[in-house]
């Protein structure tokens, strides 16, 4: 298995643009990035950084960050992407937990780094291409780099305590890329725009690393700006684009959307919540199909994909699992669900993490005989299509009945006044728990609780109907644009 991708593309297509920074206009060919990656790797080895050592990075996506990734492929360094939206205390925890030997910090986040109070060597990522190598340049990379060695430690949000660092190996990187190419028809003529941040696996591994593996071109945008994003999609002839549902809606609301033509765009790859059918149809009229899918930090992340032809017929489905992925649904008693039915999704294959960094307990509780327990409840229909019902942790019990908020939310979203909705379980003296709905409204509409209740009674079982309603101007979002349920629970 070839682990050094830039070395190969430096031979095959040295002058082809590999990375283009939208914000600065800087363009880097595969040859230029490979040369920089070689230099960075030698520099770090000369500085005493060894295979397996962790290197933290506090930066948005930039060409230097991608070159550092290629250097890690060559020399076996392990990158620890740091979330620049965290509090200083949280960043300090991750740097300490990962036992980073060095951290590269963007000038943009120097103040945040200083506030974290970390007594560790850090260097500006902007200077990576100007590094001066002291002493010998005859240092050699490790010849013992294995596909099972990690290339990332990706920290997941600490919803149940401190963040956990999922090990992401070279093998996972390779097979995720192959799975992506097989299902999304990725090849060297493709290009993508990256607007998702580097501290999530989606930023790196939904399209960026698969495109680089297959010799495509990657455009980097530091922050999602709907108007600029639309402009790049049209003018740069982007062929593949991954985004979350909120972004799909925001793009359709831009001033230039009506006049825009997307002659090269094959489709959108959308993760997270299912898209409303009207929004799917709006983009279909522009000739842009929607491919919805499912993934997670610890596996893949590209696990399933729904063929674009099924976007409306199977609305809400995440499709089928990708090529080199095994899966099963497991019920509450630990039995495998056969045929049509519902259960927790378990995954197996070369795309599954070997475990969590310095957290044997989390590894043991998540992995059983090679099967990774996702914590997601899925439903399989009579045709074999999969649907996410909800996270196990989001479920609440009302009057002895399991309630999955995602199911309630899907129904409420069909109300003409509702733009966004999230339902959480809250304590209730009579029923144990009951639902509380947080809703943002479309312009010009109003909604009170009696009207919401009357609407829900037409399509939901009585125990599923929320007992409380809160109207917000907009729902709080996480770093990836998904509704932030943790914040809602504090309201």
Cross-strand partners of 450: none
Q: What ranges in 83-169 are assigned the alpha helix state H? A: 88-97, 110-116
Q: What pLDDT is stored for residue 139 in this prediction?
A: 58
CA distance 378 to 384: 12
Paired sense of beta strands 401-403 and 290-296, if any: unpaired
Q: How many CA atoms lie within 13 A of 124 on its CB side?
A: 9
pLDDT score, position 397? 82
Question: Which residues touch 185 (CB under 8 Å, ≥6 apart)?
Answer: 266
Q: At what angle do helices 5-12 and 63-75 cross, to 10 degrees?
A: 110
Q: Which of 344, 348, 427 is nearest to 393 (CA)?
A: 344
Half-sphere exposure of 248 (CA within 13 A, CB side): 30
CA distance to 95, 354, 405, 443, 478, per residue, from 161 (Å): 17, 21, 22, 38, 17
**Residue 152 to residue 201: CA distance in whole angstroms:** 9
What H or E segment, with its residue span, contains residue 388? Answer: strand 386-391
Closest CA to 405 of 453, 454, 465: 465
pLDDT of residue 2: 86
Q: According to the model, what pLDDT value does residue 134 have?
A: 64
Calpha distance 50→229 (Å, rounded): 39
Q: Residue 433: beta bridge partners?
A: 427
Q: Which domains does the chain have, with CATH numbers?
A: 5-380 (3.40.50.12780), 395-490 (3.30.300.30)
- Do the strands 150-156 and 164-169 form a parallel or antiparallel pair, or are they unpaired? antiparallel
Which segments in the chain show pLDDT lower than 50?
A: 159-160
- What is residue 442's predicted lDDT score, i.e. its pLDDT? 94
Helix (H) or strand (E) holding 278: helix 277-284
Residue 18, both tokens: 């590999």
> Among candidates 317, 316, 347, 315, which has minimal Cα distance to 329?
347
Rounded to the nearest 10 degrees, the angle between the axes of helix 226-235 and helix 245-252 is: 80
DSSP calls for 427-486: EETTTEEEEEEEEEEPTT----HHHHHHHHTTTS-GGGS-SEEEE-SS--B-TTSSB-HH
In 117-244, which residue ranges form alpha helices assigned H by DSSP? 170-184, 201-205, 208-213, 226-235
Element (H, E) at 154: strand 150-156
- Check residue 298 and give its pLDDT: 96
Structure tokens, 71: 């250097």
Identify the pLDDT of residue 475: 95
Tokens 């974290």 map to which residue? 116
Strand partners, 102: 55
Compute φ and ψ for 305, nearest 5 degrees.
-150, 140
């Amino acid at each position: 298995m070839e682990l050094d991708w830039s070395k190969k593309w430096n031979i095959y297509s040295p002058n082809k643009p590999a990375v283009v920074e939208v914000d600065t206009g800087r363009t880097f060919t595969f040859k230029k990035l490979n040369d920089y990656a070689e230099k960075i790797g030698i520099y770090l080895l000369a500085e005493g950084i060894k295979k397996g050592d962790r290197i933290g990075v506090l930066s948005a996506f930039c060409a230097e960050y991608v070159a550092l990734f290629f250097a890690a492929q060559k020399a076996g360094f392990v990158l620890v992407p740091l979330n620049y939206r965290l509090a200083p205390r949280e960043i300090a925890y991750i740097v300490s937990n990962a036992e980073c030997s060095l951290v590269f910090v963007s000038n943009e986040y120097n103040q945040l780094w200083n506030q974290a109070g970390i007594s560790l060597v850090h260097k500006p990522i902007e200077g990576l291409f100007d590094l001066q190598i002291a002493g010998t340049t005859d240092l050699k990379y490790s010849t013992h780099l294995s596909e099972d060695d990690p290339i990332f430690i990706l920290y997941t949000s600490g919803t149940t305590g401190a963040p956990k660092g999922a090990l992401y190996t070279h093998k996972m990187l390779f097979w995720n890329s192959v799975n992506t190419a097989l299902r999304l028809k990725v090849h060297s003529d493709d290009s993508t725009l990256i607007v998702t941040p580097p501290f999530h696996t989606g930023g790196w591994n939904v399209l960026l690393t698969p495109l680089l593996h297959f010799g495509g071109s990657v455009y980097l945008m530091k922050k999602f700006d709907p108007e600029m994003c639309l402009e790049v999609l049209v003018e740069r002839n982007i062929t593949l684009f991954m985004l979350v549902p909120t972004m799909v809606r925001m793009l359709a609301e831009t001033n230039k959307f009506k006049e825009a033509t997307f002659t090269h765009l094959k489709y959108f790859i959308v993760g997270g919540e299912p898209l409303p059918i009207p929004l799917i149809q709006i983009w279909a009229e522009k000739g842009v199909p929607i491919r919805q899918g499912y993934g997670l930090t610890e596996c893949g992340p590209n696990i399933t994909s729904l063929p674009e032809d099924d976007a409306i017929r199977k609305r809400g489905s995440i499709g089928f699992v990708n090529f080199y992925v095994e899966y099963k649904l497991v019920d509450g008693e630990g039995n495998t669900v056969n045929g049509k039915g519902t259960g927790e999704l378990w995954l197996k294959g070369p795309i599954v993490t070997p475990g969590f960094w310095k957290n044997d307990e989390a590894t043991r509780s998540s992995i059983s005989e090679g099967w990774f327990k996702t914590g997601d409840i899925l439903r399989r229909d009579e045709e074999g299509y999969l649907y996410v019902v909800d996270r196990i942790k989001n479920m609440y019990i009302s009057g002895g009945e399991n309630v999955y908020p995602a199911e309630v939310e899907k129904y409420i979203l069909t109300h003409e006044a509702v733009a966004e909705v999230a339902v959480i379980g809250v304590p209730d003296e009579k029923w144990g728990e009951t639902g509380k709905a947080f809703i943002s409204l479309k312009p010009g509409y109003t909604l009170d609780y009696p009207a919401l209740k009357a609407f829900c009674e037409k399509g939901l079982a009585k125990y599923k109907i929320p007992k409380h309603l809160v109207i917000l101007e907009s729902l709080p979002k996480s770093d990836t644009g998904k509704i932030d349920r943790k914040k809602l629970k504090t309201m």
